[in-house]
Amino acid sequence: MKINFVELKFSIKLATDKKYPDLLAYVSIKFIDEENRYFSCNGFTIRTSKFDQSPYIVPPSKKFGAGFFKFNLIEKSLWNKISKEILEQYEYESIPVCNE
């Protein structure tokens, strides 16, 4: 089977939970094919690095035994491109709205 994805849409919800101060936002990714069919991956988060305070993306993970098991395996160069786009959209969406 061959499916050609032509678009990725990101849904970013800014976090308001004070319990996790490093949590900045929740992210969902919708993969859309050439026939406008889609599937979504939820559970990504944007967090603040404790070293340099820069934002970074954390893929979804599920607690599994003593460690964590990642159930989204993404090829590294594709993940780098997706991460860059998510962070750019996050920066845009985190700009405060001014009503004058």
Q: Taking a C-beta distance cutoff of 8 angstroms, is the pair 44, 28 a contact?
A: yes
Q: Taking a C-beta distance cutoff of 8 angstroms, is the pair 7, 32 a contact?
A: yes
Domain coverage including residue 62 = 5-93
Rounded CA gap, 2 and 42, in Å? Answer: 23
**Of 41, 37, 48, 38, nearest to 27 (Cα)?**
41
Q: Report the CATH number at residue 31.
A: 3.30.1120
Q: Is 90 helix (H, G, I), strand (E, B) or coil?
A: helix
98 found inside a domain: no
Q: Is 85 helix (H, G, I), strand (E, B) or coil?
A: helix
pLDDT of 73 reads 73
Q: What is the mean pLDDT, run by run of 10 residues, along the chain of 100 residues? A: 90 88 92 92 90 88 56 81 92 73
Q: How many domains does the chain have?
A: 1
47 found inside a domain: yes
99 found inside a domain: no
71 found inside a domain: yes
